[in-house]
Amino acid sequence: MSAASDFALYGYFRSSAAFRVRIALNLKNVGADPRFVHLVRDGGQQHRDAYKAVNPQELIPTLLHDSRAIGQSVAIIEYLDEIVPQPPLLPRNAPERARVRQIALAIACDIHPLNNLRVLQYLHHAIGADDKARADWQYHWIATGFSALEAMLARNAETGCFCHGDAPTLADVCLIPQMANARRIQMDLSPYPTLQRIEKAALSLPAFIAARPENQPDAE
């Protein structure tokens, strides 16, 4: 659609919230000029004044478009879906749209934030949680969320090759990066066969493959 220079994306290869936006941009065939923010180096470049001016939450991703800085990956993806409607990432009818958002937000609101870098850092520095305690914390919250998602998806006739039907939606855009996070910490994913089946389908698509952390220019 637009030239890459119309959009810029502040991201980090390992950030799953940025991974979501990369998938959505790829599905929409929208290029974005990448701006790398290293979340660990220099105490976290997200805390620099220059980045704080762009995103006061000191979190990535941030999308720049039309002189506007938009934070929050789900807000960014819905914005993209509105300005570049094809292919749609949300169904047209309200109950189906609600189902897709329910799945997406179960991940974006109730799993991901609990395992975010700053939460893990706080557990370590303020509460004294050691490596094992922090790993257990992550396993617990991902397993809690994934068990519910597995039940929601496995028992619903609206689940298709993907979370909702046979084309990727906002739900898959959120699920696949969360699966990548779980794999990164070597979680046992065998209790979630439906999630694994959907992950396999998504990771056969170029838009998802190109967005994977290991395929980013800043990957380490």
* Residue 118 binds ligand GSH, judged by CB under 6 A: yes
DSSP string, 60-96: S-EEEETTEEEESHHHHHHHHHHHS-SS-SS-SSHHH
Site for ligand GSH in 73-92 (CB under 6 A): 73-74
* Residue 216 binds ligand GSH, judged by CB under 6 A: no
* Residue 115 binds ligand GSH, judged by CB under 6 A: no
- Nearest distance in Å: CB 129, ligand GSH: 16
Cα–Cα distance, 194 to 98 (Å, whole number): 20
CB atoms closer than 10 angstroms to residue 130: 10
| Tokens encoding 76 | 């960014």
Choose, by CB under 6 A, the member of 9, 10, 13, 16 that binds ligand GSH.
16
- Nearest distance in Å: CB 121, ligand GSH: 7
Residue whose CB is less far from ligand GSH, 18 or 30: 18
- Nearest distance in Å: CB 86, ligand GSH: 23
- Nearest distance in Å: CB 166, ligand GSH: 26
Choose, by CB under 6 A, the member of 72, 115, 159, 169 that binds ligand GSH.
72
Contacts 24+ apart (CB under 8 A), 82-87: 84/1, 84/28, 84/30, 86/28, 87/27, 87/28, 87/167
| Residues forming a β-bridge with 35 | 10
Site for ligand GSH in 35-64 (CB under 6 A): 39, 44, 46, 59-61
25, 83 in Cβ contact below 8 A? Answer: no
Q: How far is CA 201 from the centre of its chain?
A: 17
Q: Kindly list the residues in this chain that would bind ligand GSH in the complex (CB under 6 A).
A: 15-17, 39, 44, 46, 59-61, 72-74, 108, 116-118
